[in-house]
Amino acid sequence: MDNNLLQPLKGFRDFLPEDAKKRSFAIDNIKSTFELYGFEPLETPALEYESLLLGKYGDEADKLIYRFEDEGGRRVALRYDQTVPTARILASYKQQLPMPWKRYQIQPVWRAEKPQRGRFREFFQCDADIYGTTSPLADAEIVALANALFQNLGFRDFKIYINDRNILFDVIGFVKIPPELQFSVIASIDKLDRKSEEEVASELIAKGIDTNTVKHLFEHLKTVKPTQKLQEVLDLSQNLGVNKERLFFEPRLARGLDYYTSTIFEVKIDDYPAGSVLGGGRYDNLIDTLCSVDIPAVGFALGFDRTIEALDMFGLFPKEKTYTKVLVSVFNKDLADEAAMVAANLRGNGIETEIFPSYEVKLEKQLKYADKKQIPWLVVVGPEEVNKNKVVLKNLNTGKQTEEKLSDLPEKIS
Amino acid sequence: MDNNLLQPLKGFRDFLPEDAKKRSFAIDNIKSTFELYGFEPLETPALEYESLLLGKYGDEADKLIYRFEDEGGRRVALRYDQTVPTARILASYKQQLPMPWKRYQIQPVWRAEKPQRGRFREFFQCDADIYGTTSPLADAEIVALANALFQNLGFRDFKIYINDRNILFDVIGFVKIPPELQFSVIASIDKLDRKSEEEVASELIAKGIDTNTVKHLFEHLKTVKPTQKLQEVLDLSQNLGVNKERLFFEPRLARGLDYYTSTIFEVKIDDYPAGSVLGGGRYDNLIDTLCSVDIPAVGFALGFDRTIEALDMFGLFPKEKTYTKVLVSVFNKDLADEAAMVAANLRGNGIETEIFPSYEVKLEKQLKYADKKQIPWLVVVGPEEVNKNKVVLKNLNTGKQTEEKLSDLPEKIS
């Protein structure tokens, strides 16, 4: 077979066990936090009618939607995000859903983007949202959930930057930026987290803002205070468990202001260089725009691939390369039954156990298998031991081996 | 918006929280059993090159593959099963994988089938296989794993039917069925589990087999014994923990004989009417046929939707409608901070807790919300209680309410 055909498509990935286990660890952890906060799972199909998705993400994005005609002549498209399908769910099932409705969703999405480092054509989105209330308490709950996620994943040093998009509009209105330049100016201000004031100032001046206005703008951004509503969100999220040292009012935060209506926030992990790992905010009009049902909303999307990368970088994944705790080796064909019974016994005690699945392979090769998989314990059920109702237990990290009664094995291994 | 657009595509499904939770429960349970047996996860992309998939499943199946040209002019196709992608993985990564390799895979696949009861265009496949050994011990391990899956999911009454496809060929050879009719005759024999001997006999006679041969065939099928290899698989799987009462040698079992090479088996749940819930066997030549790498294999596919249906039918899902154990209601705006602290405290104790995410909603409506979600406990943080450092705890099943110290709450609820 042509070797090129053995590659996944560009921008798509195979996850061999080591990586698949990391992803599984992260998802399990994230799901328990969602559930600790009373959020419930939702799953929607990979394929939707093309007309549901087209025109919902802007002209540029439309080009990135995988879409085609199916055998039945329907125009269909692969899920591009989880918000549009959820808007469809809200419009279809509004009557039977509890309101406010707190749902999470973790599924792959597909975007025909130019593949580059950290950008893929298939990737997991991981969203949590509260629908059906405009209360600041809901905003605070979403911030507290975001905080709990990273805390529970084991991150120690991360920060939450929070703003109200209206503050930004107030400031640029106050210094009299012409309306037609407001969005462009905000885009420049948003860069202040990674560019110097001088650089952003030059950019603003190039956009036609005079030097004095730029100076006033920067001064105001430094002295502006949270609105009463934002202060309430800050206070409530602290009462909900967010450490005060983590929470930063950041009036320069913009987060692509197209659909957010007030609270916006981002999580950044200290010393993780690839940018924010979570972003969200309040978007009270979007669901109506998408599916003609007037439901206010606040929520976030967690960057799953970045989170995996950061977990790796800070050594937060479990050390074990394999789930397996012990390999029961098979001495020979005559002793396969005994080995099988030992494996069954260990599994019955809840211990992740492999039995080497062949009796025609030399012990030495079985040991190499355990080594390759970094299985910590080996059990040998040899002819002499069987006669004494015992087995040999070997710690593959220390090399130390002892003879054990079968009944003592579970305790020795776990 | 057009209401038709709010429906998922035909053959596709939305899973609202109640169903999504059932699926999540089943997957978690299945994954732990796989891991207890030392199987490791694999994930492959939803999209592959069309040429990898086409011609691999037969002419009829080719028509059911979702395929299209992507924006880059590549012919691509949606995953149709998990065996072909795994064969690609085996061919690409053979050197770095441990051998024997035990992997499981749980992902959606897409098939443009005619939708009908129990048949969908998007559904989960759930496979486990051992690659790289022809040993009967591997066959037994796969049977033992299948048994453990249903046992751990909580099923009490199910049966494993097992056969060696060579037995079937021996029998029909012995009674001298002409070679060109063998596959067709086996297809008829396979129906003996749901049709009477008379019905199958008529079918065979209509296919041109004489009455006497049919009689001999049925007699032989009743007296034939397992081969030595199959007997070994039966013995080893019992030593690996399969209850003898569950295990049935079934010489009439055929399982679409196109690619299986010896052991074949099926799991059926007593009183579950929709057919077998798991099927598998040994397929030593398939991986070579698919991706030109000579690796023997044994494994199974669990029917995920049928398993969910059977779990439902036998009441094996957890009773709770929601993960949430307690709703902390919010008395009014002034007391929102206190309510938030109570919620944070409960969550800190690992208790799944919701805080009603608005302080502008009357207690009565908050109670209705708890009712709708069937949350078992309600906490009210009222003005009088706050002054006494207490809260009201209400059991929503019994209606009984008590005043509790905050520090006593976790114990009372969990």
A336 and A309 in one domain?
no
Is there a contact between B7 and A92 if contact means CB atoms under 8 Å apart?
yes
pLDDT in tens, B269-301: 999 999 999 999 999 999 999 999 999 999 999
Distance (Å, whole) CA B277 – CA A206: 67
Q: Which residues contact A398 (CB under 8 A, 6 or more apart)?
A: none
ipTM field: 0.94
Q: Which domain holds residue B345?
A: 326-413
Looking up tokens 């051998």, which residue turns up? B99
A266 and A293 in one domain?
yes
Helix (H) or strand (E) holding B210: none
The B377-380 sheet, strands edge to edge: B353-355, B326-329, B377-380, B390-395, B401-405
Residue B274 lies in a domain: yes
B373 and B262 in one domain?
no
Could you give the percent of chain B with pLDDT greater than 70?
99
* B117 appears as a binding residue in the annotation: no
Residue B60 lies in a domain: no
From B104, which residue of chain A is nearest by alpha-carbon distance? A17
Distance (Å, whole) CA B159 – CA B267: 6
Above 60 in pLDDT, residue B327? yes
* Helices (H), ranges, A224-351: 228-239, 286-291, 304-313, 336-348
From B139, which residue of chain A is nearest by alpha-carbon distance? A357
> A388 in helix, strand or coil?
coil
What integer pLDDT is reported at residue A153 of this predicted model?
98
Q: Which residues pair with B158 in a beta bridge?
A: B269
Could you give the percent of chain B with pLDDT greater than 90?
87
Identify the band that residue A3 occupies on the pLDDT scale cut at 50, 70 and 90: low
Overall average pLDDT of the A164-168 stretch: 93
| B94 token code pair | 């053979």
B367 and B293 in one domain?
no
- Whether B157 and B243 have beta carbons less than 8 Å apart is answered as no
Q: Which residues pair with B126 in a beta bridge?
A: B106, B302
Is there a contact between B40 and A49 if contact means CB atoms under 8 Å apart?
no
Closest by Cα among A408, A410, A413 to A389: A408
Residue B146 lies in a domain: yes
pLDDT in tens, A83-121: 999 999 999 999 999 999 999 999 999 999 998 888 899
B330 and B309 in one domain?
no
Residue B63 lies in a domain: no
Is there a contact between B241 and A16 if contact means CB atoms under 8 Å apart?
no
Closest by Cα among A92, A87, A80, A138 to A295: A87
- Closest partner CB to B8 (pick from A19, A45, A63): A45
Distance (Å, whole) CA B275 – CA B162: 15
Distance (Å, whole) CA B304 – CA B316: 15
Q: Is A154 on the interface with B (CB under 8 A)?
A: no
Residue B74 lies in a domain: no
B245 and B180 in one domain?
yes
Average pLDDT of every residue of chain B: 94
Helix (H) or strand (E) holding A326: strand A326-329
Is there a contact between A322 and B110 if contact means CB atoms under 8 Å apart?
no
Identify the band that residue B2 occupies on the pLDDT scale cut at 50, 70 and 90: low
Identify the band that residue B398 occupies on the pLDDT scale cut at 50, 70 and 90: very high
Residue after which a domain boundary falls, among B278, B313, B348:
B313
Q: How many CB atoms lie within 10 A of CB A184?
A: 15
> A184 in helix, strand or coil?
helix
Q: With contacts defined as CB-CB under 8 Å, which chain A residues touch B66? A: 47, 70
Q: With contacts defined as CB-CB under 8 Å, which chain B residues touch A133? A: 357-358, 361
* B81 appears as a binding residue in the annotation: yes
Cβ burial, residue B388 (10 Å; 0-12/13-18/19+): exposed
- Closest partner CB to A108 (pick from B46, B292, B324): B46
- Å between B153 CA and nearest CA of chain A: 15
Question: Is the previous residue joined to B100 through a cis bond, with omega within 30 degrees of 0?
Answer: yes
B150 and B40 in one domain?
yes
Residue B319 lies in a domain: no
CATH number at residue A387: 3.40.50.800
pLDDT in tens, A315-342: 999 988 889 999 999 999 999 999 999 9
Backbone angles phi, psi at A182, to 5 degrees: -55, -50
| B218 token code pair | 């049925």
Buried b vs exposed e over B134-147: b needs ≥16 C-beta within 10 Å?
A: ebbbbbbbbbbbbb
Residue B69 lies in a domain: no
Q: Is B347 on the interface with A (CB under 8 A)?
A: yes
Identify the band that residue B10 occupies on the pLDDT scale cut at 50, 70 and 90: very high
- Closest partner CB to B236 (pick from A110, A324, A336): A336
Distance (Å, whole) CA B310 – CA B81: 23
Distance (Å, whole) CA A15 – CA A108: 14
pLDDT in tens, A193-236: 889 999 999 999 999 999 999 999 999 999 999 999 999 999 99
Kindly state the DSSP code that residue A112 receives in the 8-state scheme. Answer: -
Closest by Cα among B99, B161, B188, B152 to B300: B161
Q: Is A66 on the interface with B (CB under 8 A)?
A: yes
Torsion (CA) A356, A373, A317, A346 in degrees, nearest 10 = 20
Q: Which residues contact A42 (CB under 8 A, 6 or more apart)?
A: A86, A89, A103, A104, A105, B14, B15, B16, B17, B20
- Whether B187 and B340 have beta carbons less than 8 Å apart is answered as no
Identify the band that residue B255 occupies on the pLDDT scale cut at 50, 70 and 90: confident
Residue type, B343: A
- Whether B309 and B372 have beta carbons less than 8 Å apart is answered as no
Q: Is B54 on the interface with A (CB under 8 A)?
A: no
Distance (Å, whole) CA A18 – CA A372: 12
- Closest partner CB to A89 (pick from B14, B340, B343): B14
- Å between B357 CA and nearest CA of chain A: 5
Overall average pLDDT of the B329-356 stretch: 96
String of DSSP letters for B68-122: EE-TTS-EEEE---SHHHHHHHHHHHTTTS-SSEEEEEEEEEE--PPPBTTB-SE
- Å between B252 CA and nearest CA of chain A: 27
B29 and B146 in one domain?
yes
Distance (Å, whole) CA A392 – CA A390: 7
Residue after which a domain boundary falls, among A279, A313, A347:
A313
Q: With contacts defined as CB-CB under 8 Å, which chain A residues touch B361? A: 133
pLDDT in tens, A229-287: 999 999 999 999 999 999 999 999 988 778 999 999 999 999 999 999 999 999 999 99
Is there a contact between A1 and B291 if contact means CB atoms under 8 Å apart?
yes
Q: Which residues pair with B403 in a beta bridge?
A: B392
What integer pLDDT is reported at residue A401 of this predicted model?
95
What integer pLDDT is reported at residue B151 of this predicted model?
98
B83 and B163 in one domain?
yes
More confident site: B182 or A64: A64
Q: Is B21 on the interface with A (CB under 8 A)?
A: yes
From B371, which residue of chain A is nearest by alpha-carbon distance? A98
Overall average pLDDT of the A396-414 stretch: 94
Q: Dihedral sign for Cα B380, B384, B390, B394, please.
A: negative
Q: Is A108 on the interface with B (CB under 8 A)?
A: yes
Write out residues 285-304 of A within 8 Å (CB-CB) of B. 291-292
Q: With contacts defined as CB-CB under 8 Å, which chain A residues touch B100? A: 356-358, 369
Question: Is the previous residue joined to A100 through a cis bond, with omega within 30 degrees of 0?
Answer: yes
pLDDT in tens, B202-250: 999 999 999 999 999 999 999 999 999 999 999 999 999 999 999 999 9
- Å between B216 CA and nearest CA of chain A: 37
Alpha carbon distances (Å) from A102 to A42, A141, A299, B40: 10, 10, 9, 33
How many separate domains does chain A show? 2
CATH number at residue B267: 3.30.930.10
Is there a contact between B341 and A239 if contact means CB atoms under 8 Å apart?
yes
Q: Is A91 on the interface with B (CB under 8 A)?
A: yes
Residue A236 lies in a domain: yes
pLDDT in tens, A356-374: 999 999 999 999 999 999 9
Q: With contacts defined as CB-CB under 8 Å, which chain B residues touch A135? A: 357-360
Above 70 in pLDDT, residue B3? no
B26 and B97 in one domain?
yes
Identify the band that residue B1 occupies on the pLDDT scale cut at 50, 70 and 90: low
Overall average pLDDT of the B357-381 stretch: 96
Overall average pLDDT of the A394-414 stretch: 94
Above 60 in pLDDT, residue A1? no
Residue after which a domain boundary falls, among A313, A335, A369:
A313
B264 and B347 in one domain?
no
pLDDT in tens, A41-66: 999 999 999 999 999 888 889 999 99
B194 and B164 in one domain?
yes
Average pLDDT of every residue of chain A: 94
Closest by Cα among A51, A56, A83, A82 to A67: A51
Q: Which residues contact A302 (CB under 8 A, 6 or more apart)?
A: A30, A126, A127, A128, A146, A149, A277, A278
